[in-house]
Amino acid sequence: MAITTQQLMQWKQQGRPIVALTAWDYTSAQLLDKAGVDLILVGDSLAVILGYETTLPITLEEMLHHAKAVRRGVNRALMVVDLPFLTYQESLQQAMHSAGRVLKETGAQAVKLEGGYPAMASTVAQLVQAGIPVMGHVGLTPQSVHQIGLRQQGKTPEAETRILEEAIALEQAGAFSIVLEHIPAQLALQITQKLSIPTIGIGAGPHCDGQVLVTADLLGLSERQPPFAKSYANLRETITQAVQSYAIEVREHKFPYNVET
């Protein structure tokens, strides 16, 4: 049975941790879904998979293309798609159009957007009223990289208060869940206890209602590993060794094998 946004909120109440990962194509989505991941995010971290330096250049069309492929691999998990930079910040009409396209064209159940300041909370409220489930994202927001960098957020009392207020505003606007990225664990605990909707942490300590990682980081495929990520495999090394072995066998005429027919 497919997981719903309501089920995530029930799991928070039950104290059942939520498992989330990112996917970028049919194969990755199918593997994650069959492995029992609860929430699959087509994150704008896809930009790195496509060779961009930051998440800023990726377009809505690129996100839609990959999200369609991910959808074909997902049967059980809740699927959420990031709205890329400048596809929802300009106006409510732009946000509605972008989010509507995601749901209509990909079959995803929800969208995610960054920021919780008053204007963004108002946008979330309007999207939710239109029937579009929204996941929020506060703390380190990578689309603001040129403004805040990639360093941990919420380290001063003023920053703590602002992030907490943003999270509360997003819940009041109707967000069904919020990603807390790269903030102190104590602040994440405070937010998690304050909200009735689930928090999904990434570099935010152990007290969130769930955890998300970029799958390329988990698998050891990323060139640069975030300080808060854990690699459960080293596929860069495994793949490199496999390709080198193949190349050696081809050059030494050992592959393909000479099998009599």
Catalytic entry in 181, 223, 237, 249: 181
What residue type is assigned to position 64 of the chain?
A: L
What pLDDT does residue 257 have? Answer: 83
CB 221 within 8 A of CB 244: no
For residue 258, give the 3-state DSSP assignment: coil
Neighbouring residues of 110: CB distance < 8 A, sequence distance ≥ 6: 5, 78, 79, 80, 81, 132, 133, 134, 135, 176
User: 181 catalytic, yes or no?
Assistant: yes
pTM of the model: 0.96
- CA-nearest of 39, 153, 169 to 116 is 169
What residue type is assigned to position 235 of the chain?
A: L
* pLDDT, tens only, 133-177: 999 999 999 999 989 988 999 999 999 999 999 999 999 999 999
What pLDDT does residue 260 have? Answer: 62
What pLDDT does residue 88 have? Answer: 98
The rounded distance, in Å, linking the Cα atoms of 241 and 114 is 39
At 60, list the tokens.
Answer: 């809505």
- Given phi > 0 = left and psi -120 to 50 = alpha, else beta, which region is 255? beta
Please tell me the total number of residues recorded for the chain in this structure.
Answer: 261
What pLDDT does residue 261 have? Answer: 52
What pLDDT does residue 58 have? Answer: 98
Residues with pLDDT less than 70, the chain = 259-261
Q: Give 5-233's CATH code, choosing from 1.10.3720.10, 3.40.50.1100, 3.10.20.30, 3.20.20.60.
A: 3.20.20.60
